[in-house]
């Protein structure tokens, strides 16, 4: 479980094996990869669109995050300009990313700057990550950090990781894990700081970590401690209403309307066929007017009637009854759903039977239960 952080050249990467081979702790996967994996899982779960990694170092985390389709803006900030310049090119799209472009835009930007300076380009982010950053801040910068990141940038979510000093006795001769660390906190110190910051800037915080301690040393906790902060929305109650913008709801309503319409048109077709038959049998009946544009009580406006009349008519082939999708789309209750014929086809195709060319809904002209209703 060795703390193999290639990113910060820590003492723990160094010469443990020489110093005390029996005390070397090797993490599998390496600890820095576990930290990145934690962020990847978090992104996978919360699908942020705009993500900023503060203290991004050699940009490795950004390179791992750029593959997530939900992310449309990815920003890295570091005080070390050289690191950014020498690693920036690695964030350019690969050949494969031109061959198979993303569905949504992605812009990746690196800014040179300090996390304790207000930068309006970092406003409005969904997620800000600070992986192994805060322990590099001196006391003045650490004091300014919450006001800038939580108070000013105020993203929806913040992930902060930092070493857990309780784990350090498991490493050989380590007081601080990296020469540039200004401090390393135990769990109580980190959690006290994090809770104060969260309360002050209206966030909730949960604590976790990566880098499991070895068997028998569970009491020291994770090697890296992590605070996950979420901005309180101030909401007391929240509910979402069903709407036609939701695919499932649109499909549900559309299929329902289609089934009702097809059934009514099928019964009307039967009635028309019966009337035609009666007409042939009764030469005195001279009423040859077509079926009224009334479907079981629905009365249409002139414009609606014209739209229906101008659409392809239902028809029979043998004992099969067909209603063209365009006809269905002309009826007001389907028309108001504002779907194209193609969208309608894809939404209803697994719920109703379609003609072989997919242009009409197909049904049996006569059903076993029809006779029961004939006299009503
Ligand atoms: N986050 C990266 C990772 O986990 O691989 C790099 C972590 S490295 C241990 C700490 C990084 O924070 C360094 O790249 C350092 O230059 C950067 N840093 C330190 N102080 C900073 C500050 N005030 N503003 C921005 N970056 C800072």
Collapsed DSSP state (helix, strand, coil) of residue 336: coil
Q: What angle do CA 242, 244, 249 make, to 5 degrees?
A: 60
Contact between 207 and 187 (Cβ < 8 Å): yes
**Cα–Cα distance measured from residue 192 to residue 164, given in angstroms and rounded to the nearest whole number:** 13
Q: Order of strands across the sheet with 73-78?
A: 107-112, 73-78, 50-54, 127-131, 157-163, 224-231, 203-210
pLDDT of residue 160: 98
**Cα–Cα distance measured from residue 268 to residue 37, given in angstroms and rounded to the nearest whole number:** 62
Q: Is residue 95 part of a domain?
A: yes
pLDDT at 258 over 60: yes
**Residues 70 and 112 grouped into a single domain:** yes
- From 274, 273, 336, select the one nearest 300 (Cα to Cα): 336
**Residues 162 and 253 grouped into a single domain:** no
339: domain CATH number is: 1.10.10
Question: What's the rounded mean pLDDT across residues 294-309?
Answer: 82
Q: Is residue 289 part of a domain?
A: no
Q: Return the percentage of the chain with pLDDT > 70, whole number.
A: 88
**Residues 170 and 213 grouped into a single domain:** yes
**Residues 43 and 95 grouped into a single domain:** yes
**Residues 174 and 103 grouped into a single domain:** yes
- Count up the domains in the chain and report the number: 2
pLDDT of residue 5: 43
Q: Is residue 238 part of a domain?
A: no
**Residues 29 and 144 grouped into a single domain:** yes
Q: Is residue 281 part of a domain?
A: no
Tokens of 52: 């900023």
pLDDT of residue 286: 53
For the chain, what is the mean pLDDT? 89
Q: How far is the CA of 131 from the centre of ligand 1 (A)?
A: 8
In the 8-state DSSP scheme, what is residue 166?
Answer: G
Q: How far is the CA of 46 from the centre of ligand 1 (A)?
A: 24
pTM of the predicted protein model: 0.65
pLDDT at 273 over 70: yes
Q: How far is the CA of 132 from the centre of ligand 1 (A)?
A: 7
For residue 326, the enclosing domain spans 247-268+296-373
Beta bridge pairs of residue 185: 164
Question: What's the rounded mean pLDDT across residues 203-212?
Answer: 98
**Residues 73 and 31 grouped into a single domain:** yes
- From 229, 230, 225, select the one nearest 35 (Cα to Cα): 225
- Given ligand 1 and candidates 79, 144, 176, 224, which is best to mutate, with the most ligand atoms within 8 Å of its CB? 79
Q: How far is the CA of 341 from the centre of ligand 1 (A)?
A: 54
Q: Tens digit of pLDDT for each residue in 58-95?
A: 999 999 999 999 999 999 999 999 999 999 999 999 99
- From 147, 146, 163, 154, select the one nearest 128 (Cα to Cα): 154
**Residues 175 and 252 grouped into a single domain:** no
**Residues 153 and 16 grouped into a single domain:** yes
Q: How far is the CA of 138 from the centre of ligand 1 (A)?
A: 13
Q: Is residue 1 part of a domain?
A: no
Contact between 6 and 132 (Cβ < 8 Å): no
pLDDT of residue 298: 72
Which has more confidence, 276 or 282? 276
**Residues 134 and 186 grouped into a single domain:** yes
Tokens of 345: 């086809």
- Given ligand 1 and candidates 33, 78, 131, 144, which is best to mutate, with the most ligand atoms within 8 Å of its CB? 78
Q: Is residue 236 part of a domain?
A: no
Last residue of a domain, one of 203, 231, 259: 231
92: domain CATH number is: 3.40.50.150
**Cα–Cα distance measured from residue 332 to residue 101, given in angstroms and rounded to the nearest whole number:** 40
pLDDT at 274 over 90: no
Q: Return the percentage of the chain with pLDDT > 90, whole number.
A: 76
pLDDT of residue 13: 42
Contact between 49 and 71 (Cβ < 8 Å): yes
Q: Tens digit of pLDDT for each residue in 4-63?
A: 444 444 545 433 333 344 567 889 999 999 999 999 999 999 999 999 999 999 999 999
pLDDT of residue 173: 73
Among all chains, which residue has been given the structure tokens 């020469």? 179
- Given ligand 1 and candidates 31, 33, 118, 133, which is best to mutate, with the most ligand atoms within 8 Å of its CB? 133
**Residues 110 and 66 grouped into a single domain:** yes
Question: What's the rounded mean pLDDT across residues 173-191?
Answer: 92
Neighbours of 288 (CB within 10 A): 7
pLDDT of residue 29: 96
Last residue of a domain, one of 231, 257, 284: 231
Entry field: residues in the chain: 376
Write out residues with Cβ below 6 Å of ligand 1.
Answer: 7-8, 32, 55-57, 60-61, 77-80, 83, 114-116, 131-133, 136-137, 141
**Residues 251 and 181 grouped into a single domain:** no
pLDDT of residue 373: 52
């Amino acid at each position: 479980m060795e703390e193999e952080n290639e990113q910060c050249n820590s003492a723990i990467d160094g010469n443990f094996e020489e110093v005390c081979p029996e005390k070397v702790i090797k993490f599998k996967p390496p600890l820095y990869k576990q930290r990145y994996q934690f962020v990847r899982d978090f992104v996978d779960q919360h699908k942020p669109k705009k993500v900023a990694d503060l203290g991004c170092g050699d940009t490795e985390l950004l390179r791992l995050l750029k593959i997530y389709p939900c992310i449309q803006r990815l920003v890295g900030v570091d005080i070390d300009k050289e690191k950014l310049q020498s690693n920036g090119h690695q964030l350019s799209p690969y050949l494969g990313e031109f061959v198979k472009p993303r569905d949504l835009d992605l812009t990746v930007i690196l800014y040179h700057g300090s996390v304790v300076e207000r930068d309006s380009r970092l406003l409005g982010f969904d997620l800000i990550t600070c992986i192994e950053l805060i322990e590099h801040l001196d006391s003045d910068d650490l004091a300014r950090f919450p006001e800038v990141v939580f108070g000013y940038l105020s993203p929806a979510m913040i992930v902060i990781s930092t070493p857990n000093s309780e784990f350090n006795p498991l490493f050989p001769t380590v007081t601080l894990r990296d020469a540039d660390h200004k401090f390393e906190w135990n769990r109580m110190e980190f959690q006290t700081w994090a809770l104060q910051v969260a309360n002050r800037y209206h966030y909730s915080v949960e604590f976790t970590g990566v880098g499991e301690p070895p068997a028998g040393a569970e009491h020291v906790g994770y090697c890296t401690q992590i605070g996950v902060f979420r901005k309180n929305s101030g909401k007391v109650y929240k509910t979402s209403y069903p709407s036609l913008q939701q695919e499932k709801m649109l499909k549900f309503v559309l299929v329902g309307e289609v089934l009702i319409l097809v059934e009514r048109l099928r019964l009307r077709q039967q009635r028309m066929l019966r009337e035609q038959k009666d007409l042939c049998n009764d030469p005195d009946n001279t009423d040859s007017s077509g079926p009224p544009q009334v479907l079981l009580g629905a009365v249409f406006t002139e414009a609606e009637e014209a739209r229906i009349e101008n659409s392809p008519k239902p028809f029979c082939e043998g004992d099969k009854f067909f209603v063209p999708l365009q006809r269905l789309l002309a009826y007001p209750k389907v028309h108001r759903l504002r779907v194209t014929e193609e969208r309608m086809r894809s939404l209803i195709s697994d719920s109703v039977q379609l003609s072989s060319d997919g242009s009409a809904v197909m049904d049996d002209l006569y059903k076993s239960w029809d006779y029961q209703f004939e006299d009503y």
